[in-house]
Homo-oligomer: A and B are copies of this chain.
Amino acid sequence: MMEEKKAVVLLSGGLDSTTLLAMARQEGFVLYGLTFRYGQRHLHELEAARRVADYFQVREHRVVDIDLRAFGGSALTADIEVPKGKGTAGSAEIPVTYVPARNTIFLSYALAWAEVLGCGDIFIGVNAVDYSGYPDCRPEFVAAFEKLANLAVKAAVEGKITVSIRAPLMFLSKGEIIRAGLKLGVDYGLTHTCYDPAPGGLACGRCDSCLLRKKGFDEAGLTDPIAYAPLPGT
């Protein structure tokens, strides 16, 4: 009997992490989806993560509560207004939607679970092309975490696992991510992207995250299957 290959996949329910899950499945991994409830102002993300986890039949889907609101410092977890229509994506400025140390914290939990599962592969959907300028989405951050992880946990130090932080979306444009996902059977109608949805959960169409998503579908020459809230004045 061949030994199972397991992987922990960080799953937000967004377009990127859903594509990531499809890629990990394509590689033959048994999937363990990890989602965080971290004081986001919108819980639509969590519902999307559950839909996506069901769709891809992950073996386990854990939703872990982490209290990033305890420290504040971000428009996503505190009472700071999410910027609209500014298109900060790609600019040199790091936007207010940045959450302090978020991916460091997410990967630390993923590492703990991976060690308990006895696996070293951890998938994260970070991207250094069409990204919002977050420092913890860069390849040097991922490489540094991988190095740390192999020093940090017992199973790695004892040679039972080798931690590999897998970031296959790192150098893909949003359009390339979408095309890759469609080839792997992703239904993007299940995903949720918006930072600041309208009542009822409709995507605003104007935050950084929505703008990037729209740009991706435009690039791919495709129509986004999700509905957007009407723009003001239309």
User: Contact between B158 and A148 (Cβ–Cβ < 8 Å)?
Assistant: no
Interface size on A, residues (CB 8 A): 44
Question: Considering the chains assembled together, what is the distance between the CA atoms of A65 and B152 in angstroms?
Answer: 21
User: Contact between A101 and B105 (Cβ–Cβ < 8 Å)?
Assistant: no
Contact with B along A91-105 (1 / 0, CB 8 A): 000100011111111
Chain A contacts to B: CB under 8 angstroms: 62, 64-68, 70-73, 94, 98-105, 108-109, 111-113, 115-116, 134-136, 138, 140-141, 144-145, 147-149, 151-154, 156-158
Question: Considering the chains assembled together, what is the distance between the CA atoms of A115 and B102 in angstroms?
Answer: 12
Question: Considering the chains assembled together, what is the distance between the CA atoms of A53 and B86 in angstroms?
Answer: 44
Known contacts A66-B66, A104-B108, A105-B105; decide if A113 and B71 are in contact (CB<8 Å).
Answer: yes
User: Contact between B158 and A71 (Cβ–Cβ < 8 Å)?
Assistant: no
User: Contact between A100 and B116 (Cβ–Cβ < 8 Å)?
Assistant: yes
User: Contact between A111 and B100 (Cβ–Cβ < 8 Å)?
Assistant: yes
Of the candidates B101, B112, B140, the one whose C-beta lies within 8 Å of that of A71 is: B112
Cβ-closest 9 pairs across A and B: A101-B112, A73-B116, A100-B112, A144-B148, A100-B115, A105-B108, A135-B157, A104-B108, A101-B111
